[in-house]
Structure 1
Amino acid sequence: MMTGNILLSVYFTLLQTRYDQLSNNNSQLQSSYETLSVNHSQLQDEVKNLKDRTEVTLLQTRYDQLSNNNSQLQDEVKQLKNRTEEKCCLDGWTRFGCSCYFKSEEKKTWSGSRADCKKRGADLVIINNKKEKEFVTELSKDGESWIGLRYEWRQSGSKWEWEWVDGSPLTETFWAAGLTHYDGYWYAATCCDQQGKWTQRYYSDNKNWICEKKMI
């Protein structure tokens, strides 16, 4: 009987020792797990911070590139403006925008007027917009002057059409009210009447004229 009790006591002691070992191992595992969790969280934070810093760096680099490009573009615009402003028109010519304009004091036919402009390295003025039209009107305030607009027979369209001397079509018009024209007659335009409007005249009429020469 005593022997059985001794065996039970030894067996209980072994079980208690095994339990204590397992309990200690569990505590160590729990501690390791908590340490790994903390490390994992720190690693995630480091990765996030690194990603944020990388994105900021990329954005800063892109911003610097755009700023540099904008600065270069501003320099080019300034240089172009300076070169344009440095160019002057010849004596007797008036500058407007990127062109020089010459107003004649004598009178010729439309063809004779254009020939004179050609000799000056220019052509009869082409009016592209309202601002230029107002400028040309001011040049012609003392009477009508030939401009580079003519009424021509277009073989391709088998009809008469208004066309500028550079071959471009007439898109914006400033005609005086009540004007008429007839197929078969050669007309050209003058600027301007007392209301600042274009008028239609025969090629053979003698008028002052306005030449235009591009600066660039």
Structure 2
Amino acid sequence: MSEAIYDKPDMTKKVKFDRGETEERIVDIYVSADTLRDHETSTKTEDVEHTSTKGPGDQHTGQLQTSYNNVTKEGDQLQTRYNNLTKERDQLQTRYNNLTIERDQLQREKDDLLEKFSNSGWNKFESCWYFVSTERETWSESREDCLEREADLVIINSREEQTYLFSLKKGVWIGLTDSETEGSWKWVDGTPLNTSYWGSNQPSKDGDHSTNQKKDCVELQGGQDQPEKTWNYLKCDKKRNWICEKCNK
């Protein structure tokens, strides 16, 4: 079939046409062209009418949608900020609760100390409590008693403290010794001696340093005229009163 269409026509053949048939075909062609033209015109008109329907109302709807989107975005940002502030508030609340617990614990410890030391032979000076014995024991026995009281032999850290202890007017053991290394004086907490209040010619460099005569412990002598010259070192097996000390840390 397709080959017959593209074959060259035979111009030698004579073809007869009926005039009426020709005119009828011509009319059909013109009618078909007019119909096609009218259809294209109608289609273009519909497109124009469809386009023209997008008036101010549609633009207003678009603006409303944009505004809604912006408000929604701001709402999300505010929600995020609110969540962050809530988290920070909860963290601060937790910290406050922990500090309150620590405060209450410290208050209980303070109350316990006050109850323990009040009316039991303890005296307060600045931030420390002092217990002055009424008995006399060796240096080691005296320290053992202090440790049983959850304290230790007194460590003198200032001139004011030295003056306060001097005012008690008692010869007492203090927490100073060179028992580990001769001439290297240390307090019972292991700290080296920095400021001293030795009496005259103390500690002496001469004397008997044999085992039975070794002087490794220190007493604060009472009955002296100068509070800053009252330390005396002597044998640790001598019996003296003692002072226990417990400081708030």
**Structure 1 segment 27-38 matched on structure 2, within 5 A:** 30=59, 33-38=62-67
Looking at structure 2, the residues matched to 205 and 18 of structure 1 have their Cα atoms a distance apart, in angstroms, of: 122
SS of aligned partner of 2:218: strand
- Cα offsets for 1:44-86 (capped at 9, x unmatched): 0110121122112112212221222222222111111111111
SS of aligned partner of 2:217: strand
Percent identity reads: 14
Looking at structure 2, the residues matched to 208 and 135 of structure 1 have their Cα atoms a distance apart, in angstroms, of: 19
Partner of 1:199: 231
Quick one: which of 151, 154, 165 aligns to 1:126?
A: 154
Structure number with higher relative contact order (C-alpha < 8 Å, ≥ 6 residues apart): 1
Partner of 2:97: 68
Q: Quick one: structure 1 residues 82 and 143, their matched pair in 2 at CA, closer, same or farther if it must change by over 3 Å? A: closer
TM-score, normalised to structure 2, is: 0.59
For structure 2, list consecutive stretches of 5 or more residues without a partner in the other structure.
Answer: 1-30
Give the number of the structure whose alpha-carbon radius of gyration is greater.
2
Partner of 2:175: 148
Q: Quick one: structure 1 residues 116 and 42, their matched pair in 2 at CA, closer, same or farther if it must change by over 3 Å? A: closer
For structure 1, list consecutive stretches of 5 or more residues without a partner in the other structure.
Answer: none
- Cα offsets for 1:147-178 (capped at 9, x unmatched): 23223353xxxx542133x4624244223487
The number of equivalent residue pairs is 200
Give the structure with the higher percent strand: 1
Quick one: which of 184, 188, 205 aligns to 1:161?
A: 184
Q: Quick one: structure 1 residues 82 and 149, their matched pair in 2 at CA, closer, same or farther if it must change by over 3 Å? A: same
Deviation at 1:21, TM superposition (A): 0.9
Partner of 2:76: 47
Quick one: which of 104, 114, 124 aligns to 2:139?
A: 114
Greater displacement, 57-66 / 126-135: 126-135
Deviation at 1:94, TM superposition (A): 3.4
Looking at structure 2, the residues matched to 29 and 89 of structure 1 have their Cα atoms a distance apart, in angstroms, of: 89
Q: Quick one: structure 1 residues 197 and 152, their matched pair in 2 at CA, closer, same or farther if it must change by over 3 Å? A: same
